[in-house]
């Protein structure tokens, strides 16, 4: 599931300490953030990118967005690409959630923020990734300016994190994993915890979101948190997921 950035007061507080935090922590090199090799993938999953036709006069999905998704899949670590391919994962692109599920866009998105389903950047259902180009204006069928390709790419990596979690048997449901995850949450500094508000509640949706964000960075994404990098703030969870991702394991078939 996609996560909205913190409310304005949290952003302001975070911005005040951004420089000191960046100096004190640092962002690390690519080998630290992305420990898995870049791939040059091809195969059936490239043909499982579905483009939903627009409704309500919306502009169609841009060819550049399809190209961005193909490039993300092509560059995934080969073992991860195979995990998704054999697991039956799909990528689905639409202008907005309204184009596939009319009437759903003004529904409230689960979580601590005031956000509707039509405003989020995407959602993953099991192993099926849904990625949306534009936010919907509340109470109308008007769409805002489409997200940039960098935003689309970052969102896709995070949403793939959910699909990978599912393909691995839903690691985030493992009690041992939950224990490690909440050890990281309990040691997190207050401003960081505020930044990760949607990922630090004591429920499975929250832990699933945090897991997807960590996996998304480990497989090549940049993440959504510039001031508080997700890998630095979930160190034990990151180490756990690295081990799981690097294992040679039997890939479960799609249900």
Tens of pLDDT, residues 200-216: 999 999 999 999 999 99
Say yes or no to pLDDT of 35 above 70: no
Q: Are the C-beta atoms of 231 and 238 separated by less than 8 Å?
A: yes
Longest dimension (CA), the chain: 49
pLDDT band (50, 70, 90) for residue 225:
confident
- Of the candidates 24, 38, 42, the one whose C-alpha atom is nearest the C-alpha of residue 219 is 38
pLDDT for position 226: 72
Helix (H, G, I), strand (E, B) or coil at 24: helix
- Of the candidates 60, 41, 64, the one whose C-alpha atom is nearest the C-alpha of residue 51 is 60
Q: Where are the domains of the chain?
A: 24-246
* pTM to 2 decimal places: 0.84
CA distance 251 to 89: 12
What number does CATH give the domain 24-246? 3.40.390
pLDDT band (50, 70, 90) for residue 26:
very low
Token pair listed for 197 = 């508000």
Residue 130's DSSP bridge partners are: 92, 123
| DSSP structural state of residue 198 | G
Our CA angle for 73, 77, 82, nearest 5°, is 70
- Share the mean pLDDT of the chain: 85
């Amino acid at each position: 599931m996609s996560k909205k950035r913190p409310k304005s007061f949290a952003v302001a507080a975070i911005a005040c300490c951004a420089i000191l935090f960046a100096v004190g922590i640092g962002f690390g090199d690519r080998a630290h953030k992305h420990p898995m090799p870049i791939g040059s993938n091809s195969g059936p999953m490239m043909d499982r990118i579905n483009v939903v036709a627009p409704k309500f006069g919306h502009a169609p999905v841009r060819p550049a967005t399809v190209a961005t998704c193909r490039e993300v899949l092509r560059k995934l670590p080969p073992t991860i690409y195979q995990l998704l391919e054999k697991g039956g994962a799909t990528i689905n692109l639409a202008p907005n959630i309204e184009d596939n599920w009319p009437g759903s866009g003004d529904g409230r998105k689960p979580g601590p923020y005031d956000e509707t389903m039509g405003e989020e950047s995407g959602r993953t259902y099991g192993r099926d990734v849904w990625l949306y180009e534009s936010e919907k204006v509340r109470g109308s069928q008007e769409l805002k300016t489409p997200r940039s390709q960098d935003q689309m790419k970052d969102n896709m990596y995070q949403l793939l994190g959910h699909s990978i979690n599912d393909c691995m048997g839903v690691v985030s449901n493992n009690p041992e994993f939950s224990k490690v995850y909440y050890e990281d949450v309990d040691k997190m500094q207050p401003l960081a915890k505020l930044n990760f508000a949607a990922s630090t509640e004591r429920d499975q949706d929250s832990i699933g979101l945090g897991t997807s964000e960590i996996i998304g960075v480990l497989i090549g994404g940049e993440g959504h948190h510039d001031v508080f990098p997700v890998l630095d703030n979930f160190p034990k969870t990151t180490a756990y997921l690295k081990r799981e991702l690097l294992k040679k394991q039997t890939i479960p078939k799609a249900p």
